[in-house]
Amino acid sequence: MNIQNEILMDVHGSCVSYSILSKKDDCGFQHNIPGVKTNLYFSHVNMAGSMTSPITYEPKESDFILSDQHVIRNIMTDLKKDAVSTLLSSEAQYLIIDFYDMARSQWAYENGSYTHVADLSIAAPDYYKQIQHELLGAFRWIDLPTNLWYCHIDRYMNTMIQKYGADHIILNRLNLNRYYIDENSVLQEFSPCTHYLGSYKENEKIRQLEHYIIQKYSIVNIDLAKYFLSD
């Protein structure tokens, strides 16, 4: 297919959605959909948090001592709150979303939050010293009454529908597993110490949010994750 005819897709969610469009995994297996190309990818940039205010002192790439550029870009995007504005200027025709980040811990600051994907005291120690007095503690949006944060999701969805159209937004539904298959092909239960990354206990709340979005905005949805286990 001619590259000019490729469909560009933006992803705002997690690897749950991005992996669908990835070209090749570490084992050499092809997963890409012919004629479809990933454009922008925002990973672990919470949608409700995206509609809040940026932090007072915005980070710079030079503040980080991490080597993972993907993590750096997404932390910066989350703190600066420029995911939505970047998506609005995208050339992509479609947007894929998922709500995995609703199950992940956030750090609150005045009028905003960011997803805890890296400890800033280690990843960007000098920058962390600048903002640590602003941080108010950890929380999760999904633990709050829905009337406090569904409004942020509604604002996000209305903005994205104006940009892409409801028929060009795809919700990739997910199911967080309680068990995984280890390197010895033995079924194991995830340790409670990993629950800050997301837990099967949040599946019901995430399902409720997914139902709300599907019914209110009539967007396309894919529901395959319940048939898989992590390894």
Q: Residue 81 has what pLDDT?
A: 96
For the segment 178-184, the average pLDDT, to the nearest whole number, is 89
Residue 61: what pLDDT?
A: 92
Pairwise pLDDT comparison (93 vs 32), residue with the higher score = 93
pLDDT value, residue 2: 44
Q: Which of 174, 172, 170 is nearest to 217 (CA)?
A: 170
Q: What is the pLDDT of residue 5?
A: 76
pLDDT in tens, 4-60: 578 899 999 987 777 777 656 566 555 567 788 889 999 989 999 999 999 999 999
Helix-helix angle 203-217:150-164, to 10 degrees:
40
Tell how strand 179-181 and strand 112-115 pair up. Answer: unpaired
Least confident segment among 24-38, 75-89, 93-107, 149-163: 24-38
Per-residue model confidence (pLDDT) at position 14: 86
Does position 3 have pLDDT exceeding 70, yes or no?
Answer: no
User: 157 by DSSP, 3-state: which?
Assistant: helix
Amino acid found at 69: Q
Using pLDDT thresholds of 50, 70 and 90, give the confidence band for residue 223.
confident
pLDDT digits (tens, 9 = 90+) for 161-180: 999 999 999 999 988 888 88
pLDDT at 225 over 80: no
Q: Dihedral (C-alpha) 73, 158, 112, 211: value to the nearest 10 degrees?
A: -90
Lookup: tokens for 43: 């990973």
The DSSP output letter for 44 is S
Greater pLDDT, 68 or 217: 217
Token pair 């996000």 in the structure block, residue: 156
Q: Is the whole model's pTM more than 0.85, yes or no?
A: yes
Contacts 24+ apart (CB under 8 A), 51-54: 51/84, 51/152, 51/153, 51/155, 51/156, 52/81, 52/111, 52/112, 52/113, 52/152, 53/81, 53/110, 53/111, 53/112, 54/79, 54/80, 54/81, 54/82, 54/112
Work out whether strand 94-97 and strand 187-189 pair parallel, antiparallel, or are unpaired.
unpaired
Once rounded to an integer, what is the mean pLDDT over residues 70-96? Answer: 94
| Per-residue confidence band for 1, with pLDDT thresholds at 50, 70 and 90 | very low
